[in-house]
């Protein structure tokens, strides 16, 4: 078991930190929201008054923050954590941010002799709570091996994607594809329903055929087809449209910097942005089906 400093206790970070506590790690947490810290304290974690305090005595630092500017603010500069840590600490940033910032933080960590990995996740809130997340890691091979000590208690699929920033690139590719096949799944189900097919029966047909995909298999977007899917609970909770828009923006940055004209990704981005602007930002991203039913 390890001493872990955990920074960022939002919808994803909170359950992840709880799983580390449940696994027997000594976890010290920090978040700007007192209620989030109180919930972790009740679960068995200790609470720090700052990021620096959370890092004191830690063998691992795990962060789950909203954007690249927050990650850079925590780790870089004279007051950043990298200036306070030594080579015995392994830093794992599980935020979904731009690859450029991950590479910048990774380079600064390497210069200080500190092991750093960008390790964004896939699976959503349910997987975070269940400890079944997928981690896509970017960094050195030896850091990846050390990271498994804590990552294995928060997820079940842990991948070494490549050097610093590779985790963010893998996440961008994955979530762009997720957006595209969710849109296609919604269109197919609504098309069938308008022609008299039972969406549940059509889902079974496509799951046994070449249209099979993750959205159909574990996250059906049609209400009533899958009891535990957000669609059957008024499209909440889940992976918010706001977050999908954010992730598609990051994916477009990767595509643009790579010289790729990803037409499907851009179309998905436009559709989700329109759905967000219509006031659906806090709903699960599968709620895009509602736009087809108007």
Q: What is the pLDDT of residues 227-256, one digit of tens each?
A: 999 999 999 878 999 999 999 999 999 999
What are the residue ranges of CATH 3.40.50.720 in the chain?
A: 3-163
Angle at 160 between CA 157 and CA 164, to 5 degrees: 135
Name every residue whose Cβ is closer than 8 Å to that of residue 22 and which is 6 or more positions away in sequence: 43, 44, 153
Query: Superfamily for 3-163?
Result: NAD(P)-binding Rossmann-like Domain (3.40.50.720)
CATH architecture of the region 169-292: Orthogonal Bundle (1.10)
Look at residue 59 in the predicted model and tell me its pLDDT: 97
Of the candidates 148, 171, 263, 266, the residue annotated as catalytic is 171
Look at residue 126 in the predicted model and tell me its pLDDT: 84
Look at residue 152 in the predicted model and tell me its pLDDT: 97
- Give this prediction's pTM: 0.93
Q: Is 171 a catalytic residue?
A: yes
Q: What percent of the chain has pLDDT over 70?
A: 100
CA distance to 35, 85, 182, 193, 236, per residue, from 288 (Å): 32, 44, 9, 16, 13
Residue 42, pLDDT above cutoff 80: yes
Write the burial class of residue 177 (CB in 10 Å: 0-12 exposed, 13-18 middle, 19+ buried).
middle
């Amino acid at each position: 078991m390890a001493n872990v400093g955990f920074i960022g206790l939002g919808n994803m970070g909170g359950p992840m930190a709880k799983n580390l506590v449940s696994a027997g790690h000594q976890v010290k947490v920090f978040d700007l929201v007192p209620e989030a810290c109180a919930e972790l304290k009740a679960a068995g974690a200790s609470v720090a008054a700052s990021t620096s305090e959370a890092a004191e005595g830690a063998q691992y630092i795990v962060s789950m923050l909203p954007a690249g500017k927050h990650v850079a603010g925590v780790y870089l500069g004279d007051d950043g954590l990298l200036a306070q840590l030594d080579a015995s600490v392994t830093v794992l940033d599980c935020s979904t941010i731009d690859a450029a910032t991950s590479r910048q933080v990774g380079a600064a960590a390497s210069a200080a002799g500190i092991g750093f990995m960008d390790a964004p996740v896939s699976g959503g809130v349910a997987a975070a709570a269940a400890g079944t997340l997928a981690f896509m890691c970017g960094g050195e091979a030896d850091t990846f091996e050390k990271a498994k000590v804590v990552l294995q208690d928060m997820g079940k699929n842990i991948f070494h994607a490549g050097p610093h920033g590779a985790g963010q690139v893998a996440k961008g590719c994955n979530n762009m594809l997720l957006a595209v096949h969710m849109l296609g799944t919604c269109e197919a189900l609504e098309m069938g329903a308008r022609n008299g097919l039972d969406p549940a029966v059509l889902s079974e047909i496509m799951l046994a055929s070449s249209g099979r995909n993750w959205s159909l298999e574990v996250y059906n977007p049609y209400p009533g087809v899958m009891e535990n899917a957000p669609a059957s609970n008024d499209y909440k909770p889940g992976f918010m449209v706001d977050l999908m828009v954010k992730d598609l923006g990051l994916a477009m940055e990767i595509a643009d910097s790579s010289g790729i004209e990803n037409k499907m990704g851009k179309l998905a981005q436009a559709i989700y942005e329109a759905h967000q602007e219509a006031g659906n930002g806090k709903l699960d991203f599968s709620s895009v089906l509602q736009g087809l039913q108007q």
